Structure 1
């Protein structure tokens, strides 16, 4: 992924999310005159990872990543901020500390939540075989909850961000080279994702934002066949079918809970909107589908 383009897309998508995620946040506490402690818990992949991958295995710790924020590589798969950072900024808190970077559980490091997301991962095992999938990330969170690191009132007033950008699918294509089994895999991926977000809700978290997947056909590895001139229509159609099925499940989850706990974050339209913007200002990318720099295998999302 071209990292400068990606952070711009993430900015647009986060704005779309914030209009819904912040809705009703802390209303009950505000009515009571109390101060709401804002806490953000993050699960998923590189669209949300702020530094969990080891420095020895990930290019996200090397230049040019991080050139616009924080000014040096920080483990983010972007030239600057990722989705987690924008949401935290909207909430008026610091971006949650990466779980793998925690040296202790003192108040300063965990007061704004924890980021469990690991770049390149999915709901199942991906090409990042040594990194925790989403189930394992939630297991880490479970361990902290069992230790009473967070009080029940902190959990009930918190927000969870769940990022799933398609690494399960790219892993399948890398291993099989065919679209044949993707429809069945899609159902399995979303069923597992639903199990995961239900589990997060069981921690009494009342706002859970779930990303759809971006237009996979516009990622550099898939637009390369057209010399980065056009997106791959077949992959984009698949992305849309994933997102439609996901939204149906989110609707069902909210119906089941009789409350709008689960929010859909539309990365697909955000990316398409960004790609359509006519960028003429100096310094902007002109080849939006072309990677600006090298990337590591399995780290596209």
Structure 2
């Protein structure tokens, strides 16, 4: 996705990989990589997941994980339900919260080991199990969100997931950028009210739209596209990205949304994908081995997004707008990894190359040469970009406390709330 410029922006040698080239290669090529892997390596991948092997020295098979009864019940919640849900969530974002949208949009038959730990089958999530949005749904006792473009098996009674992997907040940056997702929502909403006015039953009624939680988790791909630039030039791009997210909130508000749950971006400088980019030296690494420039960009983006949320909160007195700082939560996974039983915080579980990062820009997870960690190993990164279920569960547990949010409230309190929180 990205490449080459370190230490606040110096010259990059001709042998280094272009950040922008990697970004577009990832967006345009991820589909091809996954499809080829599915067609060519599905039997092998399935065998790999069943055996639970790892291919670097010291890795040993551990077998398929056995889902708990609670987990089986949660997985079964993907099936359609007859009645309307008291909890409704409309989610907008990228692969961090994509529950199968990209796979549905591109007709991808993703293979194992994706989804190996919890669902024990691929679901279109770009990880080994559940995402943060899935844990949020579990905490609210509502089914997992169905992707908007999933033709079969979708249940929209508790909301819709418009998030699609590779999406950007900036229009034109991807096929399903935030503005496209907003248009999809408006179409869904308009069509629902057309049917309601004809006396027909819809998955979500007018009250459901009014009381729904509108979640937005996007911006990481925008920032990644700019990281090849000198730091001051990257900083100059941030206001535009934030402005599009702000406009998204305003658009939803204009169509009746009153409860917003907004996520900042994570620790970009700790991703194996970024760390594996060739660099002249390690002077830009912090004490935990993460790239300072990339993390500074992420922190500044979150600050600007939090400020915009605060401005909107002042103008939209009848709305609740909650911003959650995901950087603090995700960086803590690396900084205090031993507390969470994680041995290699900067290494991808599924990738190529082995230690220290197990990430190869040309031999990524799901390729025929992937190197896979043990089923029961505790890793932060699944494929160098996305978190593992273990990491997502820790992130979600912290997020659900409300301690990292402004105003400092829990998402559960938004479900039946009728009074805005002034923060």
The interval holding the TM-score normalised by the smaller chain is: 0.7 to 0.9
The residue aligned with 1:85 is 134
Q: Deviations over 1:138-192 (max 9, x none)?
A: 111111111125432111111111011410121234xx55445312210100011
Change (3 A) 1:272 1:46: same
Counterparts of 2:105 and 2:152, CA distance in 1: 18
In structure 1, the residue matched to 2:212 is: 158
- Residue number among 100, 117, 123 corresponding to 2:169 in the alignment: 123
Change (3 A) 1:184 1:172: same
Aligned residues: 259
Alignment deviations for residues 91-116 of structure 1 (CA, whole Å, 9 cap, x no partner): 11101111111348xxx711011111
Q: Residues of 1 paired with 2:85 and 2:105: CA distance?
A: 39
In 1, distance between residues paired with 2:245 and 2:105?
29
Identify the structure with the greater helix proportion: 1
Unaligned runs of 5+ in 2: 2-83, 193-201, 352-363, 366-382, 387-423
Answer whether contact 1:52 1:99 (CA < 8 A) is retained: yes
Deviation of the 1:299 alpha carbon: 9.0
Which runs of no fewer than 5 residues in structure 1 stay unpaired? 2-34
Note if contact 1:165-1:211 (Cα within 8 Å) is conserved in structure 2.
Answer: no
Tell me the TM-score normalised to structure 2 length: 0.55
CA gap 1:263/1:79 in 2 versus in 1, 3 angstroms: same
Offset from partner CA, 1:7-53 (integer Å, 9 cap, x none) = xxxxxxxxxxxxxxxxxxxxxxxxxxxx9721111111111100011
Q: Does the aligned pair in 2 maintain the 1:162–1:210 contact within 8 Å?
A: yes
1:139 equivalent in alignment to 2:191: no
Establish whether residue 291 from structure 1 lines up as the match of residue 348 from structure 2. Answer: yes
Q: Distance in 2 between matches of 1:115 and 1:206?
A: 18
Q: CA deviation at 1:197?
A: 1.2
| Whole-Å separation in 1 of the counterparts to 2:216 and 2:179 | 12
Offset, 1:58: 9.3
Q: Which residue of 2 aligns with 1:262?
A: 321
Distance across 1 between alignment mates of 2:319 and 2:96:
24
- Aligned pairs for 1:1-301 (under 5 A) are 37-54=86-103, 61-103=110-152, 109-124=155-170, 129=174, 131-148=175-192, 149=202, 150-173=204-227, 178-224=230-276, 225=279, 230-259=289-318, 261-279=320-338, 285-294=342-351, 295=364, 300=385
Distance in 2 of aligned mates of 1:288 and 1:60: 30
- Note the alpha carbon deviations across 1:229-269, whole angstroms, 9 max, x for none: 61000111111111111111111111101145211122101
Q: Whole-Å Cα distance in 1 between the matches of residues 224 and 384 of structure 2?
A: 10
Q: What is the TM-score normalised by the length of structure 1?
A: 0.76
Residues 155 and 203, structure 1, Cα contact 8 Å, conserved in 2: no
CA root-mean-square deviation: 3.1
Alpha-carbon distance change, 113 to 44 in structure 1, aligned in 2, over 3 angstroms: same
What is the alpha-carbon distance in structure 2 between the residues aligned to residue 92 and residue 256 of structure 1? Answer: 32
The answer on whether the counterparts of 2:85 and 2:158 sit within 8 Å (CA) in structure 1 is no
Q: Report the secondary structure of 1:140's partner residue.
A: helix
Q: Provide closer, same or farther for how the CA distance between residues 125 and 249 of structure 1 changes in structure 2, counting only shifts above 3 A.
A: closer
Structure 1 residues 280 and 162: CA distance shift in structure 2, 3 A? closer
Residues 275, 291 of structure 2: 8 Å contact kept: yes
How far off is 1:61 after superposition?
2.5
- Aligned-pair CA distance for 1:86: 1.2
Indicate if the aligned counterparts of 1:39 and 1:111 stay in contact, CA closer than 8 A. yes
Which has the higher relative contact order, 1 or 2, with Cα contacts under 8 A spaced 6 or more apart?
Answer: 1
- 2:267/2:327 contact within 8 Å kept: yes
Query: Hey, what's the Cα distance between the residues in 1 that align with 2:172 and 2:225?
Result: 6
